[in-house]
Structure 1
Amino acid sequence: MYKTVIDPRVSETDGVGHINNTTIPVWFEAGRNEIFKLFTPDSSFENWRMIILNMNVDYVSQIYFGTHVTVHTWVKKIGNSSLQLYEEIRQNDQLCAKGTVTYVNYNVKEKKSELIPNHIRSVLEKHLAEDV
């Protein structure tokens, strides 16, 4: 599992007093940075490999400004050229949001998906989730 701590910002708080629902997908993406680095070590968009295919978010409980949140990211499935992640956001050890996202290893220059290399696959396998 990958773990990322985020401090909510005032600007992410909406008029109802909780973190706006549009912020959650951005926080989930922040939890994927280590996975992005596996596929694009130099983090350049010229060499970017991870193309999102699908994302689902379930909002479970409200999140508030003033207390950090933790994004937990697991690998749920590894295919030939794609992978699915399972993610959770927790505040005060309470589940607040959960979701899945699917990415494909994509060669932008060639305009085609490519197999996930074995050296990346072996790292991803260390973060496989059980029963999610």
Structure 2
Amino acid sequence: MTLPELPSFVHGRKDIDGFTLYRTGGMADAGTPVGCVVLVTIDTDSEATAKAWIDSVFVALASEPKPPAGGISAAFHIRDDGKQVINYAEWRSAEDHIHALSDGEGVGSHTADWRRVQNFPGVGQGGFVRYQPLAKVQAEVE
């Protein structure tokens, strides 16, 4: 599977133009090689909603009985106007991300914490795109 390069406004896991890093977390060993970056975008009605929703994602991740194989880390950024969230999610491979979504419900088990995330007031449906990791793109340039 050939993945596109990250858009030019993304400079790294912690640096996205027009967005402020709010919260990060890891799901795997720090040394796990990143094979795919997934940018997940979620629309929100305010910065307070964005922060509360991100916090609820971390509650759901902490209580996850079966973490998806291949998930490495997540870095949640809030757009400067507070009306959108980008999760810069690192995965071992695109195939691992595809498998994590295979039940059609998104990443996460069927728990009350994940249902809260999925039905959070003031949060609209989002989308995602898979990309090559930045390190791979930089290595090809050098």
Q: TM-score, normalised by structure 1?
A: 0.32
Bigger helix fraction:
2
Q: TM-score, normalised by structure 2?
A: 0.30
Bigger strand fraction:
1
The structure having more radius of gyration, on CA atoms, is 1
